[in-house]
Structure 1
Amino acid sequence: MSGATIVRRIGPRLPALPVDSDDARWLGWPLVVGLAVVALYLATNDYPAYGAGLYIETADAVRANGYALPATVPHYGPEGVPFAYPPLMFYVLAVLRDVGAGAFVMALYLPPLVTVAALVPTYLLGRDVVGDRRAGTAAALLVVLHPQVLEWHISAGGLVRAPAFVFALWGSYAALRLFRDGDREWLLPGLFAVALVAHTHPTYTVFTVATYLLFWAGYDRSPAGLVRGAVVGFGALALALPWLATVVGHHGVSVFSGAAGTHGGLFGVVYRLREWGPTGALVPMAAAVGLLRTRHRVLGAWTVAVWLLFAQPRFTYAVGAITVVAAVVELAERGYLDGAVALVDRALGHAGSGPPDRADGGVARPHVGVARVVVAALVVLSLVGLGSVGAEFAGAGGTTPEFVDDADVAAMTWAAEETGPDATFVVLGDAAEWFPVHTDRTILVSPWGAEWRGPDTYQRHLDAFVNGSECANRSCAEEAMASVDARPDYVYVPKGAYTVRGDYEHASDTLESTFAESPRYERAFENEGVVVFRTVTASDRTATGSGRPATPRGPRRQPIR
Structure 2
Amino acid sequence: MNRKPAYSRSVTEQEWAWTFLGLALLFGSFVRILPGLLTGFPINDGGMFAVMMRDLRENNFLLPAFTTYNLSEIPYAYPPLGFYIGAFVESLGVFGLDALIYLPMAFTVVTIPSFYLLAHELTGSRPHAALAAVFFALAPGNYIWLLMGGGLTRALGMALMTLSFAFVHRALREMNWRTTFLAGLFCALTVLSHPQSALLTFTGCAVFWFFGGRSRIGTILAFVIAMVALLLSSPWWGSVAANHGFGVFLSAGQSGDLGASLSTLLGNLFSRQTILPFSTVFWLLGLGWAVFARRFDLLVWGFLPYLVDQRSAPIATSLLYPILAAYGFLDVLPALINLVRSRKWNVIPEASLFNTHALAMGMLGIAFYLFIECVFHAQIIRTVSLTPNAIEAMVWARENTPAESSFLILTGREDVMTDPVQEWFPALAERHSETTLQGLEWTLKDEFVNRWAQLGNLQSCRDADCIRARVREMDLEFTHLLVDASKLSPGMFLSEGYEILFDNGRYVVLK
Q: Smaller-chain TM-score range?
A: 0.7 to 0.9
Change (3 A) 1:191 1:285: farther
- Choose from 66, 84, 89 the match for 2:77: 84
Shift of 1:531: 0.5
| Contact 1:175-1:211 at 8 Å conserved across structures | no
| Contact 1:148-1:314 at 8 Å conserved across structures | no
- Choose from 280, 285, 299 the match for 2:271: 280
SS at match of 1:531: strand
Tell me the equivalent position of 2:134: 141
SS at match of 2:474: coil
Confirm whether residue 73 of structure 1 aligns to residue 67 of structure 2: yes
| Contact 2:331-2:348 at 8 Å conserved across structures | no
Tell me the equivalent position of 1:384: 369
Shift of 1:101: 5.5
Amino acid at match of 2:99: M
Shift of 1:142: 1.6
Change (3 A) 1:70 1:306: same
Tell me the equivalent position of 1:486: 476
| Contact 2:104-2:146 at 8 Å conserved across structures | yes
In 2, the alpha carbon distance for the partners of 1:305 and 1:179 equals 20
SS at match of 1:483: helix
- Choose from 242, 252, 259 the match for 1:259: 252
Q: Which moved more, 1:57-66 or 1:291-300?
A: 291-300
Shift of 1:272: 4.1
Which deviations, in whole Å up to 9, do the C-alpha atoms of 1:189-239 show, x marking residues without a partner? 211100100111111112112222211221232110111111111111012
| Contact 2:180-2:225 at 8 Å conserved across structures | yes
What fraction of aligned residue pairs are identical, expressed as a percent? 22
| Structure with greater Cα Rg | 1
Tell me the equivalent position of 2:307: 308
SS at match of 1:67: coil
Change (3 A) 1:57 1:460: farther
In 1, the alpha carbon distance for the partners of 2:203 and 2:378 equals 33
| Contact 2:167-2:180 at 8 Å conserved across structures | yes
Confirm whether residue 413 of structure 1 aligns to residue 391 of structure 2: no
Change (3 A) 1:126 1:277: closer
In 2, the alpha carbon distance for the partners of 1:513 and 1:457 equals 34
Tell me the equivalent position of 2:499: 522
- Choose from 438, 449, 473 the match for 1:459: 449
Tell me the equivalent position of 2:233: 240
In 1, the alpha carbon distance for the partners of 2:251 and 2:270 equals 28
State how 1:16-415 maps to structure 2 within 5 Å.
24-42=18-36, 44-76=38-70, 79-100=72-93, 104-265=97-258, 269=261, 272=264, 280=271, 284=283, 287-288=286-287, 290-294=289-293, 296-311=295-310, 312=312, 313-331=314-332, 335-338=335-338, 367=352, 370-395=355-380, 401-415=383-397
SS at match of 1:152: helix
- Choose from 386, 405, 408 the match for 1:426: 408
Amino acid at match of 2:369: V
SS at match of 2:29: helix
Tell me the equivalent position of 2:9: none
SS at match of 1:70: coil
Which deviations, in whole Å up to 9, do the C-alpha atoms of 1:290-337 show, x marking residues without a partner? 41341633223322323433413232122221123224434257x333
| Contact 2:108-2:156 at 8 Å conserved across structures | yes
Amino acid at match of 2:410: L
Amino acid at match of 2:449: Q
In 2, the alpha carbon distance for the partners of 1:260 and 1:369 equals 47
Change (3 A) 1:279 1:455: farther
Which deviations, in whole Å up to 9, do the C-alpha atoms of 1:145-194 show, x marking residues without a partner? 22221122112211110000000000111022112243443112211100
Q: Mark the runs of 5 or more structure 1 residues left unpaired by the alignment.
A: 1-19, 344-357, 497-506, 535-561
In 2, the alpha carbon distance for the partners of 1:425 and 1:362 equals 64
SS at match of 1:292: helix
Change (3 A) 1:43 1:363: closer
Shift of 1:371: 4.5
Shift of 1:26: 4.1
In 2, the alpha carbon distance for the partners of 1:24 and 1:324 equals 18
SS at match of 2:147: coil
| Contact 1:424-1:489 at 8 Å conserved across structures | yes
SS at match of 1:491: strand
Change (3 A) 1:21 1:374: closer
Change (3 A) 1:363 1:26: closer
TM-score (norm 1): 0.77
Change (3 A) 1:368 1:54: closer
Change (3 A) 1:197 1:33: same
| Contact 2:354-2:360 at 8 Å conserved across structures | no
TM-score (norm 2): 0.84
Amino acid at match of 2:271: G
Change (3 A) 1:80 1:466: farther
Pairwise CA RMSD: 3.1
Higher helix fraction (1 or 2): 2
Amino acid at match of 2:506: G
Shift of 1:439: 2.1
Q: Mark the runs of 5 or more structure 2 residues left unpaired by the alignment.
A: 1-13, 273-279, 412-418
- Give the paired residue count: 479
| Contact 1:292-1:298 at 8 Å conserved across structures | no
Change (3 A) 1:364 1:154: closer
| Contact 1:62-1:94 at 8 Å conserved across structures | yes
